[in-house]
Amino acid sequence: MTIELPRTAARAPLVDPFARHITYLRISVTDRCDFRCHYCMAENMTFLPKAELLTLEEIDRVASAFVERGVRKLRLTGGEPLVRRNIMSLIRTLSRHLDSGAMDELTITTNGSQLARFAGELADCGVKRINVSLDTLDPDKFRAITRWGDLAKVMAGLDAAQDAGLRVKINAVALKGVNEDEIDGLIRWSHGRNMDITFIETMPMGEIEFDRTDNYLPLSEVRRRLEQHWTLTDIPYKTGGPARYVEAAETGGRIGFITPMTHNFCESCNRVRLTCTGTLYMCLGQDDAADLRAAVRASESDDLLHATIDEAIARKPKGHDFVIDRRNARPAVARHMNVTGG
């Protein structure tokens, strides 16, 4: 006689106190990076010891718990995610959620330095599109911004990604006095290669060697300048993140704007962020967090992990408190962007 055991009840979707459904998890798989972009990291960074990092198996366990709770999109970030040892084994493992239909998208944000090595494997794992961070097309300026990056290597990575069939979106941080004179050129170049481009306002995260107010460029000003010689039309296009998109009639391409400073986008936030140490941040611009590493390591069952996730989502705030001005010279949060995930 066959005895049927009772099925475990399906776990409830994740909904925060403001009725926002959490469907998007960004995972920083490493705090390490082969660049040192000056608005993101200090030049002499102290990176985390290996023992503090989630193993790749633990990252998969946490990610899978979120997928079980209704997360449909996973984005791997860093640091630079492709410098994490054996990263492709994690991506291959996570891709099972694409095959099962439990997840809509698995994607990464990268600086492009390692794409020539990994683009083909990424495509084979079901990754359809990627974001590549690129703030300038000038090799000397690129090296100055990244401190030791090689633009030619990134360009070779972009070629490899597109040859592999990956759709590429360029992310560019708008920096006053640094790349504001290149914004038109970046648009024409990216659209000419059939790539969307998103501009991002610099955010006050972590101590760096200079005053961010010197380079802060409001995207409201960028758009005002663009509209003097571009025909921009607001469109409802969404990728699951905070960017608001316009279409440029001159190229037919899309331009996104991520505006944490000038236009708070928190009312529709569907995201949480997991660091490489297992710390879950419910908001990029707040310090409140939950320790998922302790929950994972305390029990082979996922019950404690799910309970910890539930408690965290119940504390998700309405919005962030980013401010950049001369009276607020200190960062809004002490951690650098590479810790939380770009």
Q: What token pair was written down for 331?
A: 């960062």
pLDDT in tens, 262-272: 555 577 789 99
Q: How many CB atoms lie within 10 A of CB 243?
A: 21
| Residue 256, domain member (yes or no) | yes
Residue with more model confidence, 16 or 203: 16
pLDDT in tens, 207-265: 545 554 678 899 999 999 999 999 999 999 988 788 999 999 999 999 999 986 555 55
pLDDT in tens, 22-40: 999 999 999 999 888 887 7
Residue 327 has pLDDT above 60, yes or no: no
| Residue 143, domain member (yes or no) | yes
Domain harbouring 41, CATH code: 3.20.20.70
Please give the DSSP secondary-structure letter assigned to residue 219.
H
Q: How far from the centroid of its chain's Cα atoms is residue 239's Cα?
A: 12
Quote the pTM value: 0.86
| Residue 223, domain member (yes or no) | yes
Residue with more model confidence, 264 or 194: 194
Q: What is the dihedral of CA 335, 74, 142, 226, to 10 degrees?
A: -100
| 204 — pLDDT class (breaks 50, 70, 90) | low
| Residue 122, domain member (yes or no) | yes
| Residue 19, domain member (yes or no) | no
Residue ranges for the known binding site are 26, 33, 37, 39-40, 75, 79, 109, 133, 169, 203, 266, 269, 271-273, 283
Q: What is the dihedral of CA 235, 239, 243, 249, to 10 degrees?
A: -30
Per-residue pLDDT at 6:
40
Residue ranges for the known binding site for GTP are 26, 75, 109, 169, 271-273
How many domains does the chain divide into? Answer: 1
Number of helical H runs and strand E runs in the chain: 11, 12
Per-residue pLDDT at 202:
85
Residue 92 has pLDDT above 80, yes or no: yes
Domain holding 223, by residue range, is 24-340
Residue ranges for the known binding site for [4Fe-4S] cluster are 33, 37, 40, 266, 269, 283
| Residue 9, domain member (yes or no) | no
Per-residue pLDDT at 72:
97
The 3-state DSSP class for residue 221 equals helix
Q: What token pair was written down for 315?
A: 């504390």
The residues with which 81 forms a beta bridge, in sequence order, are: none
| Residue 2, domain member (yes or no) | no
- The number of C-alpha atoms within 13 Å of 320 and in the hemisphere containing its C-beta is 28
Average pLDDT for 166-175: 96
Q: How many CB atoms lie within 10 A of CB 205?
A: 23
| Residue 289, domain member (yes or no) | yes
Residue ranges for the known binding site for S-adenosyl-L-methionine are 39, 79, 133, 203
Cβ–Cβ < 8 Å for 251, 243: no
